[in-house]
Structure 1
């Protein structure tokens, strides 16, 4: 023989092991984040970001299964002598870590891992099951977008629209019918062109009134919780719906319409008259958003510290909002000293399925509030 030939078989899966490991790690991170969304949603690094950055989220360390050294050098729990009966306790694991008053302790603690994730990736997890409730098709749906869709294949067209895959298929089919299987030549009759139609997508109009108490009784914690809710609400609406108007209203004793930037950055002081923001909301609806043409939603967050003499007026105005809104939501933020506000007590008199209330006691309550206010009903019109 003039030469030697070596035949080898290489396991190419080894070359992909790094990518497979990275993909598996990403899935584990995603699962860990999804299990802890209530804590993740209110992370300050996210709320205070500009909305476009990659943020770091603390999650519990993602350990693989491995053998761990027994620091106490004790016998293993569950080891019997062969004479045990059903129900016998063979042993128990020692308590991990040191409790209160036991000093520094010798047991290992729980590691935390900071995972990088973009706001868009996190939003996808948060908004997975959310939707505007009671969404209806209105008489004059607003044009959301127009798009070019390739819907057909024809024998004539412009050269830039040649469908290469379909053209090759036609040439191979012709050659096969002539007894010459394979791709040899392409004739003019083989050419296929894609054709398109301009399609228009319409969506039900919707307007969301974001109302926030900015009075002196709203401390840093209360304002942070309210802004956290509205931060995710705004991002949710702009992510899932193409055609939603958002109106920002802030109030103390008086209410005013603000820009989005002012709503999330500027504070205020003074007393509280919640009825002022409901009155302004009704005026804006009457002037700019007819209930015949718009799905209307109103969400108000406050600490509930309202003028007692104003509560009856609030109930009256909320009932008026319910006549023109698909949903009215009231969120009350409890400060460090728990008490039942007179406003929350007054709202118990409102008996309307379109009126929803939530109470938030700590940061982990923001995500459940989003879920409660934006729980999709199966009969609603889904976003395009």
Structure 2
């Protein structure tokens, strides 16, 4: 089995929930659309109907004065030939016959279609709504997160990273680590830094909110958050987390997923998040991971393809 086939198998049936087409954000995301006709273009875009209509209008316009002159000359010839032979003017008759022949040649010389008649379908590039998304990866690196807990969190986010890279071309990732303070970091620091400290989870949620405000307008981006923690939090900060989610983040997010890495009973953070889940059942999901064997089943449960409602 090749790497591509393996990844196809691993991520089969998974998707980013509630991904929507958003407002115009990428001018390079365009499709050609019809925009009337033009007098210039390539042969493949010739509008036959319009070209024939233009040709017919031109033929009518060019032939009308010739036909009128031909009709007048024919009428004059007929009148001249009906005269008494004594009164006929042979020179005049010859002149009229020559004029009639000249006019008939002019009529035949009018082309059926001319390059001037050609019309082409005009195509313009129209910006399209974008399916661009941003995934915020939020990881707890506080002192209560043992090395084993951090390794599980990193494996979960690595799986998420591979999934997004494999299945979506226009997804940005924002990495946020936190203990008592949150920090936006690059990919390498997110996975390999050994920084640690106390725990204030709301610092990370506040940072996510600030980044959305400054860089990712909800009208233009699909917003996702994946958070991993052991559930240990400072004093009443869990209440602050719930308030941030309900008042600031959830109204703008497509989906929020929380994994709690602990074999022990849940603490205040989980209980507050349960209240959020009750209010945003379709767009908020939380699962517990006890050991490394739970990572893939939990990941599949969080990102399984939803059946579209009719």
Report the TM range for the smaller structure's normalisation.
0.5 to 0.7
Given candidates 237, 259, 274, the residue that maps to 1:331 is 259
Look up the match of 2:117. Answer: none
* Structure with the higher fraction of residues in helix conformation: 2
State the partner residue of 1:361.
290
Q: Which residue of 1 aligns with 2:26?
A: 142
Pairs within 5 Å for 1:147-296: 203-296=130-223
Alignment of 1:38-77 (within 5 A): none
Confirm or deny: 8 A CA contact 1:321 1:328 kept in the other structure. Answer: no
Counterparts of 1:303-314 in structure 2, within 5 Å, are: 303-314=230-241
Deviation at 1:334, TM superposition (A): 0.8
CA change 1:137–1:362 in 2 (3 A) is same
Query: Once superposed, what is the RMSD of the aligned Cα atoms?
Result: 2.5
Alpha-carbon separation, structure 1, partners of 2:235 and 2:28: 44
Please give the alpha-carbon distance, in whole angstroms, between the structure 1 residues aligned to 2:234 and 2:158: 28
If asked which structure has higher relative contact order (CA below 8 Å, sep 6+), I would say 2
Whether the aligned pair in 2 keeps the contact of 1:303 and 1:333 (CA below 8 Å) is yes
Change (3 A) 1:202 1:324: closer
Say if 1:253 and 1:276, in contact at 8 Å, map to a contact too: yes
Q: Which residue of 1 aligns with 2:274?
A: 348
Instruction: Give the number of equivalent residue pairs.
Output: 216
Structure 2: tracts of 5 or more residues without a match? 32-42, 45-122
Q: TM-score, normalised by structure 1?
A: 0.52
Q: Distance between the aligned counterparts of 1:347 and 1:214, measured in 2?
A: 19
Cα distance in 1 for residues equivalent to 2:168 and 2:8: 13
Would you say the 8 A contact 1:144–1:203 is kept in 2? no
Q: Contact 1:142/1:204 (CA < 8 Å) preserved in 2?
A: no
SS of the counterpart of 1:142? coil
SS in 1 for 2:251: helix
2:8 pairs with 1:133:
no
Asked whether the equivalents of residues 131 and 376 of structure 1 are also in contact (C-alpha less than 8 Å), the reply is: yes
- Equivalent pair of 2:24/2:128 in contact (CA under 8 Å): no
Equivalent runs, 1:12-27 vs 2, <5 Å? none
Match of 1:370 among 295, 299, 302: 299
Distance in 1 between the 2:182 and 2:139 partners? 9
Give the TM-score taking structure 2 as reference length.
Answer: 0.64
Q: CA deviation at 1:144?
A: 7.1
CA distance in structure 2 between the aligned counterparts of 1:265 and 1:284, rounded to whole angstroms: 23
| Contact 2:135-2:172 within 8 A present in 1 as well | yes
Output the CA distance in 2 between the equivalents of 1:313 and 1:342: 11
* Separation of aligned partners in 1, 2:128 and 2:169: 10
> What is the CA–CA distance in structure 1 between the aligned matches of 2:22 and 2:186, rounded to whole Å?
27
1:221 to partner: Cα distance: 1.2
Change (3 A) 1:205 1:128: same
